Amino acid sequence: MQQHLKDYARLIVQIGANVQKGQTVVISASADSAYFVRMVAEAAYDAGARDVVTRFFDDALTRMHFLRADSAVFDEVPGWIPAFFREYADQGAAFIRIESSDPELLLGTDPDRIQRNNISTSKALKSYYDKMMGNAFPWTIAAIPAEAWASKVFPDLSPGEAIERLWEAIFAAVHVGKGDPVAIWREKIATMAARANALSAHQFVKLHFQNNLGTDLTLTLPEAHKWVACGEKAKTGTNFVANIPTEEIFVLPDRIGTEGVVYASMPLSLNGNLVENIKFTFEKGKIVKAEATKGLEHLEKELEIDEGARYLGEIALVPYHSPISQMNILFYNTLFDENASCHLAFGRAYPTFLDTDDRTEEELKARGMNDSLVHVDFMIGTADLSITGTTAAGEEIAVFVDGNFVV
């Protein structure tokens, strides 16, 4: 176990953030993850980090804050928080986030407080998030088990056993315990890049998604779009992997080009609440109708945040036979569930164009990039999902058949 933890920490530092000599590393994590954060910090110093800065939070305190703090605080963000992120982002620091939160942390708290908090925080941190999504600096997200999360995933096990099982699942998902994970990931990055390049070469104009859940959705892709897999390049000059694990190849859709209906294939943990059986109806790119059998009020609060929240910002392809999908575990955590399933995101897009460099925000928007304070992935992949691409010449090419790549 100890060796696996060390390998995992090294993977996060060397492949995830790809920490360089002399670089500052910023780690955000839950206080009960401190034992693992220390290992990540060790690995970062081993890689030559100049300094490791930590930002701890705590699930119980977060929940207490939403239940008991003065209502006015949810509209405020103290200036030091954006200043903290801006300062380190401007230095080209590497940002690491370790997730472990309870997927239903905020169950029963006031949805209005959650919404106001999201608006004020994402406004205050907008320039940081925009830079992050534009790869201005290397960043990565990974996860470790905590009791509430593990018990949600394995409700029939004791808390101790649930944590153990979740560790096993995470190690399997991130390829720890099968040899040198750094070497395994280098190979994986190369394989996925080749597939992404092959998709980009088609320059599909449209993608049509269909399955037996009832999904019948047509998405439009902007000109000169670029499919991206793990192993992105930060503007600071180094490669990094934004999500550990990752199985997705993604691209931005044209903001106003989505038509039809899509059904989510998994529950979504959104702002500490679960939303189940989502169905979206699109017209001219916009979600004109949102339905869900549970947690609809939380979904609607998120869609109300701004105009761009009702438009899509990501199309991600993940084979149904991906290693994480084959575990057949519902993780209730987007980092894992999105890598077991094709997904879309509503909200801001990653500017995945062939020639993004030096483009202004306005130019990118004019080319179809959606902007919003939010970016929320929701899973849509199924065993019978088919995706057909249409090229500029009108040729139809099967991209997915029965949930898996055929290109």
Nearest CA among 237, 231, 247 for reference residue 339:
247
Nearest CA among 85, 164, 75 for reference residue 118:
75
59: left (phi over 0), alpha (psi -120 to 50) or beta: alpha
x/- mask, Zn ion, residues 264-303, rule CB under 5 A, reads: ----------------------------------------
Interface with Zn ion, residue 318, by CB under 5 A: no
Interface with Zn ion, residue 259, by CB under 5 A: no
Our CB check for Zn ion shows the closer of 38 and 126 to be 126
Our CB check for Zn ion shows the closer of 259 and 314 to be 314
CB atoms within 10 A of CB 300: 14
The least CB distance from residue 321 to Zn ion, in Å, is 18
Interface with Zn ion, residue 314, by CB under 5 A: yes
Our CB check for Zn ion shows the closer of 232 and 377 to be 377
Interface with Zn ion, residue 247, by CB under 5 A: no
Our CB check for Zn ion shows the closer of 116 and 343 to be 343
By the 10 Å C-beta count (0-12 exposed, 13-18 middle, 19+ buried), 386 is classed as middle
Q: How many CA atoms lie within 13 A of 232 on its CB side?
A: 33
Our CB check for Zn ion shows the closer of 10 and 348 to be 348
Q: How many CA atoms lie within 13 A of 63 on its CB side?
A: 15
The least CB distance from residue 306 to Zn ion, in Å, is 17
* Bond before 181 cis per omega within 30 degrees: no
Q: What is the DSSP string of 209-248?
A: EE-TTS-EEEEE--TTB--B-S-EE-TTS-EE-SBSS---
Our CB check for Zn ion shows the closer of 47 and 347 to be 347
Interface with Zn ion, residue 230, by CB under 5 A: no
The least CB distance from residue 338 to Zn ion, in Å, is 5
Our CB check for Zn ion shows the closer of 23 and 265 to be 265
d(CA 363, CA 371): 12
8 A C-beta contact, residue 152 and residue 163: no
Our CB check for Zn ion shows the closer of 95 and 167 to be 95
Our CB check for Zn ion shows the closer of 154 and 350 to be 350
277: left (phi over 0), alpha (psi -120 to 50) or beta: left
Query: Which helix or strand (DSSP H or E) is residue 130 part of?
Result: helix 126-133
Our CB check for Zn ion shows the closer of 329 and 344 to be 344
Interface with Zn ion, residue 316, by CB under 5 A: yes
8 A C-beta contact, residue 209 and residue 379: no
Strands 206-210 and 216-220: antiparallel
In the set 244, 342, 345, 380, which binds Zn ion (CB under 5 A)? 345
Piece of 16-24, 95-103, 141-149, 242-250 that binds Zn ion (CB under 5 A): 242-250
The least CB distance from residue 52 to Zn ion, in Å, is 27
Interface with Zn ion, residue 337, by CB under 5 A: no
Which of the residues 138 through 167 are near Zn ion (CB under 5 A)?
none
Question: How many residues belong to the site for Zn ion (CB under 5 A)?
Answer: 5
Name the DSSP class of 309.
G
Interface with Zn ion, residue 7, by CB under 5 A: no
Q: Give the SS3 label for residue 103.
A: coil
Please identify the residue of the shown chain whose CB is closest to the bound Zn ion.
Answer: 316
Name the DSSP class of 7.
H
- Give the C-alpha distances (Å, rounded to integers) separating 270 from 52, 168, 171, 182, 334: 30, 25, 24, 32, 9
Piece of 193-201, 223-231, 260-268, 307-315 that binds Zn ion (CB under 5 A): 307-315
Which of the residues 360 through 379 are near Zn ion (CB under 5 A)?
377
Piece of 61-69, 140-148, 188-196, 314-322 that binds Zn ion (CB under 5 A): 314-322
Q: Which residues of this protein are in contact with Zn ion, per CB under 5 A?
A: 248, 314, 316, 345, 377
